[in-house]
Amino acid sequence: MWQRFTLYDLRVVGHYLGTLILFFAVLMVVPLVTALIFQEWEPAARYLLAIGITMVAGCSLRFLRIEPGRLSRRQALAVTGFAWVVLALFASIPLYFSGHYVTYLDALFDGVSGLTTTGASLVVDLDHLSYADNMFRFAMHFLGGLGLIVVALSFGLFGKGGGASLFTSEGRSEHVVPNVVQTTQFIARITVIVVALATIVITGICLVMGMEPARAFLNALWVSISGFVTGGFTPMQLSIMYYHSFPLEFILMVLMILGSISFVVHAEVWKGRPSAFFKDFETKTMVFWIAVMTLVFTASMASSTLFSDMLALLRRGLFMVISAFTTTGFQVVTVNQLTTATAFTTGAFLTLAFIMAVGGGAGSTAGGIKFSRMGIIFKSMVSTVKEALAPDSARVVVAYNHLGRRTLTPEVVKEAMTVFILFVVTYVIGTLVGIAHGFEATEAIFESVAMTSNGGIITGLATPGMAPTLELFYILQMWAGRLEFVTLLALIVEVGASLLPRRAPQSDKRRS
């Protein structure tokens, strides 16, 4: 019943992973060039070595299958599923040898966190990190953020994909649906333009504040990338508190929200069809949901002893709400303020966790359960009530608008509810694992949600040199959350089925 992977499948998967790894080696040229520009010789040598290792590994894997060909859906699933962790393994090589990580697992954690755009970092002494290493961290965010969209488009958003896979042989595009390629290019263009504009504006702000030009530019670039792909890494240890700039925080809030809107909606708006944005049910869900959660958050902060000052609430409170729901992970309050009951009340703290858990828009870099699923579940409840009230012969149809008018079908509802439950179960299991390691319950809940939803606001459980079992589990959660579970589970099932002894010879039929 469960289809299994054949040796041939493995070779195909290996080949395409090798291609991705090779591409990752090209990405590593960016930190290398940065190191050379700023004359950081040790990082330059380190990145050259990392590039070499990655290239050789990638090329070796590619030899597993020479002739060009298409990917079947299951194979593409395996490639994208494993890609995150495999690439993070190669990312951890230069990171660990920078000397800024306590254990190798910490470097791997940062690699996964960077690529999944979680943004929780275990780096030690970030303020003394070389520009090359910092550039690499944000390059990972950029790749992870864009790559996800590209991958999601190739078989998520356009229905079942129709056999179209993104990963085709080099140069040959006849097997790829043209729509996908065009939209992918469009998305890359949007990202580059938005990040470039934001970088220019923020560089200006940093220069006004008195930073040196090179540092102003780098900080602006990195913070813009991190904001738009809703990552959460920041160049300095104090996160966004470092900049002490309200205009910067405002721009980042707009950037974060932009990053949490579905990319396909972006594409429509950029083509001159703003109604795609305004009529979209995700937009409506966002407005309603965030308004309610802001109300709850503010009400729960009213009893805070130190933080109930109006301006503090408006400036830092709203930023944290936006950072949470877009699952970015920027912080304008310290971990101490979040966790002790003096600044943030426990209620506000858990409200923030709840906001992160639900997350942002689907088809964007935001994580969490996503607005579309929440909207669908809500509409499904409405539909159920309608059916209960309507006469037996009536057929109830509930419609919603997401890039065109769609009707609520049982399949859509089933997918939404399944993923919703899987997220909640993972949040709970992650909490239990955190508690088992001896941490406070509220903090364990928050951290588990932060990992799974790729939010990345840290409360102190994820620290350098943390317990390896907890760390591995958090890595698993980040991975699962980014793959939105179904992909990951399907993968696990396939791998598991492949490892079981076969009952009858049935693998020969599966050559594609």
Partner 1 sequence: MARLHPDLRPVSPAASIALMLLAIVSFLIALWIIMALVRIVFG
Partner 2 sequence: MSRGRMTRRWGLLAVVLVGALTLGAGLPGAWGANLDNPDVPTDDTGVVTPAQDDNAEKQDEPASSAEGETPNRVAPQEGEELELPVEGAEGAESEASGDAVAGTQAPAFVTDPVFGTERNPNNLVNPQQKPDSSFIYDTSISALQEADAYLNDQTVQVVGEVVGDRLKAEFDPGYCWIVLQSNEENYAEIPVFITEEFTELVDTYGSYGRKGTTLQTRGTFHLACPEHEGLTDLHADTVSVVEKGSITEQVLDPNAFIPGGILVVVGGLMIIVFHRMREGQR
| CB 204 to partner 1: min, Å | 18
CA-based nearest residue to 419, from 359, 473, 469: 359
Among partner 1, partner 2, none, what does residue 253 contact (CB within 5–8 Å per kind)?
partner 1
User: If binding is defined by CB under 8 A, does position 406 make contact with partner 1?
Assistant: yes
* 406 φ, ψ (degrees, to nearest 5): -125, 155
Among 27, 55, 467, 472, binds partner 2 (CB under 8 A): 55
Stretch that binds partner 1, among 121-129, 132-140, 226-234, 401-409 (CB under 8 A): 401-409
- Determine the Cα–Cα distance for residues 124 and 134; give it in Å rounded to an integer: 12
User: If binding is defined by CB under 8 A, does position 387 make contact with partner 2?
Assistant: no
- Determine the Cα–Cα distance for residues 107 and 178; give it in Å rounded to an integer: 38
Stretch that binds partner 1, among 129-137, 316-324, 389-397, 443-451 (CB under 8 A): 316-324
Q: 43: which 2 tokens? A: 């990082």
Residue placing its CB nearer to partner 2 in the complex, 33 or 313: 313
Judged by CB under 8 A, how many residues of this single chain contact partner 1? 35
230 φ/ψ sector (left φ>0, alpha ψ -120 to 50, else beta): left
- Determine the Cα–Cα distance for residues 297 and 239; give it in Å rounded to an integer: 22
DSSP for residue 370? -
| CB 256 to partner 1: min, Å | 10
- Determine the Cα–Cα distance for residues 230 and 456; give it in Å rounded to an integer: 10
Residue placing its CB nearer to partner 2 in the complex, 2 or 41: 41
- What string marks each residue from 282 to 301 as x (binds partner 1 by CB under 8 A) or -? -----x--xx--xx--xx-x
- Determine the Cα–Cα distance for residues 99 and 107; give it in Å rounded to an integer: 10
User: If binding is defined by CB under 8 A, does position 250 make contact with partner 1?
Assistant: yes
Identify residues 467-486 at the interface with partner 2 (CB under 8 A).
Answer: none
Separation of CA 333 from chain center: 22
Q: 293: which 2 tokens? A: 């959660």
Determine whether 208 is exposed, middle or buried from the number of CB atoms within 10 Å of its CB (0-12, 13-18, 19+): exposed
DSSP SS3 for 399: strand
User: If binding is defined by CB under 8 A, does position 512 make contact with partner 2?
Assistant: no
Binding site for partner 2 (CB under 8 A): 22, 25, 39-42, 44-53, 55-56, 58-60, 62-63, 66-68, 124-125, 127-131, 208-212, 215, 236-238, 241-246, 305-307, 309, 311-316, 332-334, 336-337, 340, 342-343
Residues in contact with partner 1 by the rule CB under 8 A: 250, 253-254, 257-258, 269-275, 277-279, 287, 290-291, 294-295, 298-299, 301-302, 308, 310, 313-314, 317-318, 321-322, 404-406
